[in-house]
Chains A and B, each alone.
Chain A
């Protein structure tokens, strides 16, 4: 059997290290440098948000789109540890009614949510009282109440939510998105993953590109590292000033151009020259993008950053400040700054949701740490006119049981793992606002109406970005791989 032309094209665009000269366009796409070859002068122009749109005309996406794209960027806020759907987005009065009794289907004693649910917004969607600020944003969100996944264990489920694969290493959703969309800003990685000092469960599997070329890999950043210059390695030269380094690089460029001329302007060598120029510019631009101190005090405060911000949240909630809204707030604010600069996919990890016991207090604390910051992000995006083109996903890896976990009772009760039903919220980027999709049974134990599997969610995200999830494929070792493996169905009702 002869290989298909696409197959050959893909293998040869893997940048053979030889000088199997690719076409200029292939080359530009492959190096993810778009403008690189258009002249070094162009590179030195400052990049602005406005430029992103003119760029998108020429960089319409590395892969052909099947649909008009609704979202150009994604911010995936991953609530690691599996937040309880029953205490946040999925009200279950019946469960409350039978609180403390044996669950009819087994599963121990019923655990009615200790929180009230409040009708919010024009749509009147009920949201738990632990999310007062985020609740006010429901008119901009679709709440999916019928998600389900395969395995109720943190590691496989987390990796599954982020890659569509339980155990085998597969490219992450962000890698696929960037592979599909192409990069908008060659001075920053197109896919950034923001986390604290610890890696989330599943570690780098959550943002890997695996067999997709390395530039589609998420650049994982510890936003708690403090110093902006630690966020990307080797971002500054400790011994030479920028003007000094500029002169050094000018020399390098002159030497390279002589070398390159002898090799007939080999495109790979050109790419190297461009990458040094980009690296030089990244030194200031990346620093800037990750530096939230460039925001106004009011903005920082809204996101919960800084003593004043935390205190403000605490005050509004009538208690002492919840734990570290600043950490998540900082990540969210960086996410906005990155999206503003053309970054396609930002993953934001916010953990601490594995509440087997003491759910009431833990939930108040955790929810308190994200409620205002996420609401602030949505408002901020909206105000800047970015929400329409930015899809925000909020959710964890699975849900929790309707019954009390283990021996916990009363104030110490918690919930166990449950893969059969949970929630995710989607906002902006072409999804309906004020809309609830699907439902769990009356006790919230399993999704029953309009069930949405994780593969379906992935298919829907790609759809919003303009892709048919079955067509965004990559051939590796003789097989076409895709984010949704062999499954996935677009959840059309949530498309605006």
Chain B
């Protein structure tokens, strides 16, 4: 009774509910800035609808909550603080109504805010309760409930095969699961596709290439019941299978041949990325058990098998090949967590980086448990060989080339450092004065202006100078800089008193501090009276050493010295000369990476880029594994509050996700924990891993998965179609030893997969989206299949496997399969982008299938496609045709794997006839649009020719010498990865038949699988 009365009383207020839009901006701001945080922090714990907490019946996380109030009525009377129970409670004046209870009284300022707010009329935009985001804790009750409820998180059991009425149709149990659902809706499956459709579908599905005319004929002619099974087994055993299905996995693994945004001056090229690509292709071809495939990709280095198979180390590219985020570790690790959890578990764990996952049972603590694992690993500088160099002359040439670049690079770095050493030594007087003046004082600027060195270089030199004055613990002080440091420490006040002591020291040194002989000599027999005077003398040592160096160096080169000047003979002078800038450090050891630091970093960076370009492109180069190793001392990570490393919270152990671990979760104990993590993910008891994989495979065989979001099977993903079949296949997959090829067989040998793709209005009315799979879907060829098929039809596809990536985006076009095309993560070729090639920045379990005119332009106008039209007409089997009818038949066999219908023959003949009647003028030879042709040297005078060549040479040289510029680097890379076997295309006019063949390459039938 009382309650209903209350409700009645509050009704008028409810009608006046204020939404954010109706509240004046200043009031809203006051609420958001002062009141909401106060309520969240102090009240929601016990009074929150979202959290299911309503002590005394009161909730305070919506306006309606306080309007309704608790057992004793509304909590707030808008405009009247003194009458509001909430205000009374926070004032702690009534001990029976004191909130927060006990000692929890709020600070006076906060109470005043609340009073002010109520006086305003308690403007409150909160209509819906919002779950507040908590951090740091284990799973909440809500999460536990989700974990217990969501289908994909439940243990995988083998469901019973359903009974069906039509017992004749099913070829296997898969079909029974599908048929049972169809029968429920009184639907019959579609009839089987005809044989030529079937073999084309199977070939494109499994290998990304159409069958050859001979293969089609053989299959059509084979009337044995095992005919199709033989085709499937042949395709699964072909190496092209790994190239096609490996590519699907590379999408998930965000594979690219560049690293993306690297640190400044660091090349973006990832010259060994391809070893991972080849590892993946080979794993698919070998039918490597998928659990092993998982373990290798996370922890190959820690598996006992690794020693036997160094190629498996390349698997770790899965972890390391992601975007580099300009070297930001937290972002790199986030990417690693993302690819591992999305890729294998279909979970978006990276959403829990800043707060608990909003939908899935992944507390923020779990994210940092995994963060600790990957943060306890590093990528070593020296990488193991995964693919041995081929040996022979190619490798020799490579080694020679590498030594040449290294040698030249070393020389260039040393030359640059010699310049810098001279810059310092000859200006030592001013530098010492600057050190005396202090950083960024007016004198500092005045002095710096006197040094005629470019500002940036000067800045670097000053830094190097400052660093050379630092005495490192455990290292003896520099015999040159140590005494200088002591001298600089003298103040004008202490100079007179302490200078003699210093003078004595500088002449002899002491037990622990050797003093450079040239320095000692300079101070022998002199008696400076001021500090400035002493600094001048000190500076003269550097000047003298440098002058000596230059004199000896000149003499050495005049005497025919080549390469690098070995340095001063006088040891003391040599030490003084190199005290601040020491080129000798680079006389030995690797140059590329080392050169990235310090004064010669521009040169070092150029050398490193050149080496990387050589490594990625030279056939004689070995393939290194982009490994990740455990750190010597693994460390747990703190939770970073709001994802910010400046705000570390509690430290969490390295361990597996809580909701997948069960009650006895134990922290990882072996090294970083990577192997333990890998074993958890690849465990047959893992409910997600097999489901995620089966869903991915189904998606590629039908164009649609059981779940449409292959990288997310979490709470927010749509419920699966035919969950029982997914579970049945997933459990069978585990029982079959995680064999993908067995899974493919089960699917392809089912009647379900073999159905025709013919539309049917009656069935479509009942199931328009084909969720029940009453037919096969018509699917579009992806970029790789389309390009490879066109090349294959032209008879020019180079089917050699593996190795360094090749440029497929510009002329001369490589005829190799697209999977070997060079992929630049940042600057992916436009035409690949327009064909929806997976974005290598993110895990892409499913590509978009957009239809944009650039794709049509590619098929209409690209030289690559047109060239294949010519090539088709040049095939031996085409040339063997003697009549137009034969030609047409052959063309249809090659392109569509069928023969032309009557109407198609008519169209073809009419077209060819009309083209043949064309006046020759309408067919013109044109150079490639926009192509800049080299000028005809023969038409030039001798002088012009010389000028031209000199200009070209200088241009080239300038390009080589240009400071490192990543953008330029990227175009040079694309130049470097040109396929040496690629040829320029023919540019002569097209014959009518070639135009006709080209037209067929533009048709839908060619680009779609029925």
Contacts and interface: CB of A to CB of B under 8 A. Distances in A.
Interface of A: 1-3, 7-8, 11-12, 14-21, 31-33, 108-109, 155-156, 167-169, 187, 198-199, 202-205, 208, 210-211, 213-215, 217, 220, 225-227, 229-230, 232-241, 243-245, 247-249, 251-252, 254-256, 258-260, 262-264, 266, 268-269, 271-273, 275-276, 278-280, 282-283, 356-357, 404, 406-409, 412, 477-479
A15 B848 contact: yes
B827 A204 contact: yes
Contacts of A280: 856, 860
Contact of A19 (B761, B777, B930): B777
Contact of A168 (B331, B831, B853, B987): B331
Interface stretch (B119-127, B527-535, B833-841): B833-841
Contacts of A269: 778, 1004, 1008
B449 A409 contact: yes
A412 to B, nearest CB: 7
B556 interface: no
A210 B841 contact: yes
A314 to B, nearest CB: 28
16 contacts: A7-B718, A12-B769, A15-B848, A17-B703, A18-B702, A21-B764, A167-B326, A169-B841, A199-B827, A214-B836, A220-B830, A227-B929, A240-B923, A251-B911, A263-B778, A268-B780
Interface residues of B, number: 110
Contacts of B1002: 248-249, 252, 276
Interface string B338-350: 0000100000100
B356 to A, nearest CB: 14
Contact of A167 (B331, B834, B836): B331
B863 interface: yes
Nearest to B896: A259
A97 to B, nearest CB: 18
Contacts, number: 283
A217 B780 CA distance: 21
A106 to B, nearest CB: 10
A477 B347 CA distance: 9
A245 B866 CA distance: 12
Contact of A235 (B328, B442, B861): B861
A7 B998 CA distance: 41
B714 interface: yes
A1 B147 CA distance: 12
Contacts of A204: 826-828
Contacts of A245: 860
Interface string B138-181: 00000000100010000000000000000000000000000000
Interface of B: 146, 150, 261, 323, 325-326, 328, 331, 342, 348, 351, 358-360, 440, 442, 444-445, 448-449, 455-456, 458-459, 702-704, 708-709, 711-712, 714-719, 757-759, 761, 764, 768-770, 777-780, 826-828, 830-831, 833-834, 836, 839, 841-842, 846, 848-858, 860-863, 866, 903-904, 907, 911, 914-915, 918, 922-930, 965, 967, 987, 989-990, 995-996, 998-1000, 1002-1005, 1007-1008, 1010
Contact of A240 (B331, B841, B857, B990): B990
B841 to A, nearest CB: 5
A229 B849 contact: no
B989 A214 contact: no
Contacts of A406: 455, 459
Given A17-B779, A199-B967, A407-B448, A234 B1004 contact: no
A272 B922 contact: no
Contacts of B331: 167-168
Residue in B440, B828, B918 with the greatest tally of chain A CB atoms within 10 Å: B440
Contacts of A266: 759, 778
Contacts of B999: 248-249, 251-252, 255
Given A12-B708, A232-B857, A479-B351, A408 B769 contact: no
A80 B125 CA distance: 40
A356 B454 CA distance: 12
A344 to B, nearest CB: 15
B419 to A, nearest CB: 20
A18 B448 contact: no
Contacts of A407: 444-445, 448-449, 455, 458-459
Contacts of A214: 833-834, 836, 848, 850, 852
A238 B863 contact: yes
B445 A19 contact: no
A495 to B, nearest CB: 14
Given A235-B929, A251-B907, 5 more contacts: A21-B769, A198-B965, A204-B827, A214-B833, A238-B925
Contacts of A237: 860-861, 866
Nearest to B924: A241
Given A204-B826, A263-B778, A479 B716 contact: yes
Contacts of B923: 239-241, 244
A412 B455 CA distance: 10
A58 to B, nearest CB: 20
B1004 A273 contact: yes
Contacts of A1: 146, 150, 359, 715-716
Contacts of A408: 455
A234 B907 contact: no
B434 to A, nearest CB: 10
Residue in A238, A266, A280 with the greatest tally of chain B CB atoms within 10 Å: A238
B911 A11 contact: no
Contact of A268 (B717, B851, B852): B851
Contacts of A268: 778, 780, 849, 851
